[in-house]
Amino acid sequence: MQPAATHEQFRHAILPEMTIDEAARQDFVKSLKYYLATEVSPGNAMAFENRVRPAFEARERRPPRDHHEIRRAMQADPYFKLWSSMQRSSQEMMWASVITPVERQLDTLIAKAKSLPPAGGTLTLDPDLPIPSYHAAVDIHCMPGGYHTEFAPDDVAEGAIYDRAVYIYTMGRMSPYNDDIGASQVAWIRRQFPDFKPKRILDMGCTVGHSTIPYAEAYPDADIYGIDIGAPVLRYAHARAESLGYKVHYSQQNAEHTNFPNGFFDLIVSHIMVHETSNTAFRKIMAESQRLLTEGGIVVHSETPPYKDLPAFDAFMLDWDTLNNNEPYWGASHELDFKKLAADAGFDPDKQFTALAPSAFEEGEARRTKVFQGGDFGGGGVWFLFGFRK
Amino acid sequence: MAETSLRLPRKPKGERPQYFPDPAVDKLISIILSLAGEVAVMHDRHDTLERIMAARGLVSRDDIESFSATREVLAERDRWREAFLAEVLRVVRQDREMLERETPRTYQSVVESVEV
């Protein structure tokens, strides 16, 4: 079953408009990505089994030990090279297909972001916040300019680009609101901790707030906060939340070091943020979470599964983004030692937990490939959660 | 029409991976895929148009074949082709943007810097 047509994304007030040609170009990118994931990518496993692994074993007299050895062997394979080249191109085409309409209507989007009817949320920016090197060195997931670059006064371009591209990147499988990670994670938290009633919730690395809103829905009495290092995505997140009628407090802060008081939050969450930091930064984020949590508070992060939980070839395919899609920390973040991180940050390692949360978006089910692989994000139908209780 | 002359970059900052011995092969793959995308865009638009026209009984195939373009129409088509080429040749523009903007830095050095 082909993924959702791109016009099925929910048209909130700040979503960019597409001409019919722009929409057709985005539909093509979605079809290309789906074709690459379902018809081209499976050939990589065949290339591995039929020629790369036999050649490796003939040479080394043993099977490859891990995904690193598989990668080194596969990198010279012509089929893998061709798929990789097309996959990289499809990613660049995706951003371009979204940037063109945003570029065309940027003045309108900036004006709209300022004029939406208020829902009570706030936006606090810090123009002096240093952009951390793990965002400044390369543009994460090949998004030109990353989350932080500003092209005009009061710019929202990167927010508009990201919101639209997430829908195309996941081929609509994270719901019309792009909220599946947040919705699945909060559903899991409510099942796991039925008596837990957080009063204040922090979403770290919230970007456009697509994963933040499910917490406002699930805990309507809680105060909801979202932080990110990028001003354009936060302006957009604020406008998006207000237009959807949710009260969220967004501020421009680095999760390694925030200005909230000790013990301010009962629940701290992030959604595919960890892999966009660094080993050093994430250790600081852990320590900051420990400081910010009240006694009995919980922190939960979602990512794709750690490599140790996957067959080595699948780990190799999931690891494609590390070297090919400007996700430098993707690989190392999939090999974290959670118990050690807990202990180092002052959490009780016995209260560290991991879980697989099924997707909350059931309509996406028929459109999933059930595979964790590069270029097929949201295809697995399950989110990997890890967390800590204070 | 664009609201401003502002141009947003298409080149993600960072070294672009090279898959084939000659980097031109990677660029050709990108160009061909983009071209396929533009063909699909045209196809969708034609399909829309022909369905509307057929439904309303407005235009026959002969009407299309015998159409003669004015100078203004030809100029408009020139402008369209320019935008079309910018889309198809985006990877070449990325090379130019890198030359204009980035200090050379290997991707491996970035991976190492975040794994410290």
pLDDT digits (tens, 9 = 90+) for A208-242: 999 999 999 999 999 999 999 999 999 999 999 99
A282 touches chain B (CB under 8 A): no
Whole-number Å distance between alpha carbons of A356 and A192: 12
Q: Residue B15's CB: how many other CB atoms inside 10 A?
A: 16
pLDDT at A386 over 80: yes
To the nearest whole Å, the CA of A40 is away from the closest chain B CA by 14
> Which amino acid would we find at residue A151?
F
Q: Note the pLDDT of residue B1.
A: 52
List the Cα angle A37/A38/A43 in 5-degree steps.
85
Q: Which residues pair with A203 in a beta bridge?
A: A226, A269
How large a percentage of chain A has pLDDT more than 70?
A: 97
To the nearest whole Å, the CA of A109 is away from the closest chain B CA by 11
Four-CA torsion A171, A174, A179, A185, nearest 10 degrees: -150
Res. A378 pLDDT band, cuts 50 70 90: confident
Q: How far are the Cα atoms of A4, A141, A316, B17, B108 from residue A323, in angstroms, in the given order?
A: 29, 10, 11, 8, 8
Question: Which positions in chain B touch A24 (Cβ < 8 Å)?
Answer: 40-41, 44-45
Q: Which residues pair with A251 in a beta bridge?
A: A124, A227
Q: Note the pLDDT of residue A3.
A: 65
Q: Note the pLDDT of residue A5.
A: 65
How would you class A162 by CB atoms within 10 Å of its CB: exposed for 0-12, middle for 13-18, buried for 19 or more?
A: buried
Asked if the Cβ–Cβ distance from B3 to A151 is below 8 Å, we say no
Tokens of B93: 């523009």
Over range A262-280, report the average pLDDT. 98
User: Which of A:256-275 have CB within 8 Å of B?
Assistant: none
Looking at the partner chain, which of A81, A93, A141 has a beta carbon nearest the beta carbon of B19? A81
Whole-number Å distance between alpha carbons of A141 and A92: 9
To the nearest whole Å, the CA of B44 is away from the closest chain A CA by 7
C-alpha A360 chain-centroid distance: 16
Placement of tokens 């829905």 in the chain: A217
Looking at the partner chain, which of B3, B11, B114 has a beta carbon nearest the beta carbon of A144? B11
CA nearest B48 in A: which residue?
A20
Q: What are the φ/ψ torsions at residue A352 (nearest 5 degrees)?
A: -85, 140
Report the range of poorest mean pLDDT among A53-62, A66-75, A187-196, B82-91: B82-91
Tokens of A19: 């001409």
Question: Which positions in chain B touch A20 (Cβ < 8 Å)?
Answer: 44-45, 48
C-alpha A158 chain-centroid distance: 15
Whole-number Å distance between alpha carbons of B4 and A58: 61
pLDDT at A193 over 70: yes
pLDDT at A69 over 90: yes
Contact A219, A201 (CB under 8 A): yes
List the Cα angle A101/A102/A105 in 5-degree steps.
85
To the nearest whole Å, the CA of A58 is away from the closest chain B CA by 25
pLDDT at A87 over 90: yes
Placement of tokens 């140790």 in the chain: A308
Question: Which positions in chain A touch B4 (Cβ < 8 Å)?
Answer: 106-107, 152
Output b/e per residue, A241-279; b: 16+ Cβ within 10 A.
Answer: bbbbebebbbbbbbbbebebeeebbbbbbbbbbbbbbbb
ipTM value for the complex: 0.78
Placement of tokens 């070297």 in the chain: A323
Asked if the Cβ–Cβ distance from A92 to B4 is below 8 Å, we say no
Q: Residue A230's CB: how many other CB atoms inside 10 A?
A: 26
A206 or A370: which leads in pLDDT? A206
By C-alpha distance, which of A124, A123, A260, A137 is closest to A200?
A: A260
Q: Note the pLDDT of residue A370.
A: 72
Count of pairs with CB atoms under 8 A, one residue in A, one in B: 156
Looking at the partner chain, which of A89, A90, A332 has a beta carbon nearest the beta carbon of B115? A332
CA nearest B114 in A: which residue?
A278
To the nearest whole Å, the CA of A287 is away from the closest chain B CA by 17
pLDDT at A384 over 80: yes
Question: CB under 8 Å to B61, separation ≥6 — which residues?
Answer: none
Q: Note the pLDDT of residue B98.
A: 80
Task: Give the single-character DSSP code of A44.
Answer: H
Q: Note the pLDDT of residue A88.
A: 96
Over range A176-192, report the average pLDDT. 95
Q: Note the pLDDT of residue A216.
A: 96
pLDDT at A175 over 70: yes
Q: Which residues pair with A353 in a beta bridge?
A: A387
Q: List chain B residues with pLDDT less than 50.
A: none
Whole-number Å distance between alpha carbons of A10 and A167: 10
Q: Note the pLDDT of residue A134.
A: 97
CA nearest B40 in A: which residue?
A28
Asked if the Cβ–Cβ distance from A328 to B8 is below 8 Å, we say no
Please give the mean pLDDT across all residues of chain A.
93
To the nearest whole Å, the CA of B62 is away from the closest chain A CA by 26
CA nearest A278 in B: which residue?
B114
pTM, two decimals, is 0.90
To the nearest whole Å, the CA of A137 is away from the closest chain B CA by 7
Whole-number Å distance between alpha carbons of A252 and A224: 15
Over range A20-46, report the average pLDDT. 90
Asked if the Cβ–Cβ distance from A278 to B4 is below 8 Å, we say no
User: Which of B7, B10, B13 best tests the A interface by mutation, with the highest count of A CBs <10 A?
Assistant: B13
With residues binned 3-state (H G I as helix, E B as strand, rest as coil), the percentages for chain A, rounded to 5, are: 50, 15, 35
DSSP secondary structure, A47-93, as one string: HIIIIIHHHHHHHHSS---SHHHHHHHHTT-HHHHHHHHHHHHHHHH
Asked if the Cβ–Cβ distance from A108 to B3 is below 8 Å, we say yes
Asked if the Cβ–Cβ distance from B19 to A85 is below 8 Å, we say yes
Placement of tokens 């295809």 in the chain: A379
- Integer distance in angstroms from the first to the last C-alpha of chain A? 44
A371 touches chain B (CB under 8 A): no
